[in-house]
Amino acid sequence: MIRTLAEMYTPVFGSWAKFVFLCGAIAVLYSTFFVATAGNTRMAADALRVFRLAATTDAARQWWIRLLCIVFPFLSLAVYVVSKDPVSLVLISGLAQSIMLPMLGGAGLYFRYRQCDPRVRPGRLWDLLLWLSCAGLLLTGSVGLWKGLARFWSS
């Protein structure tokens, strides 16, 4: 898929652009994978702690983070090997993001109205913009989910 995307730069910029694009794509994809693994392992270890399934101490949490830093990349590799269809994996990822967007808006509203320190409480304009942002996240997530499911079912 990356090689196919790189081909679109060749007619415009020449053959050297393909190599530059591929180097940039590798750097971006590796750093994204690296950061996502670091973040997701910490989030999973925190979830284990919150739901009291494991990691009740800081040492246990660190152990789970180290373990999941090994498990998650191999799990990703296993999903890729089983699927062998990166386009479908990107569509599934887009569907997951569409579901996540409204939750992020809801979390913002929750923290604003339930967890905000009264000393730093924002004004009405800020609240209006927060509600507009949440509506935008809900709309974008709904449209993305609708279109993603339509693409997924049609393929």
pTM of the model: 0.66
Q: Tens digit of pLDDT for each residue in 67-120?
A: 999 999 999 899 888 987 877 888 888 888 889 999 999 999 999 999 999 899
pLDDT of residue 80: 85
Share of the chain above pLDDT 90, in %: 51
CB-based contacts of 49, cutoff 8 Å, min separation 6: 55, 56, 61
The mean pLDDT value for 132-153 works out to: 89
Q: Alpha-carbon distance 4 to 2, whole Å?
A: 5
Instruction: Show me where the domains of the chain are located.
Output: 1-83, 85-155
**Tokens 């009405």 sit at which residue?**
124
What's the chain's average pLDDT? 89
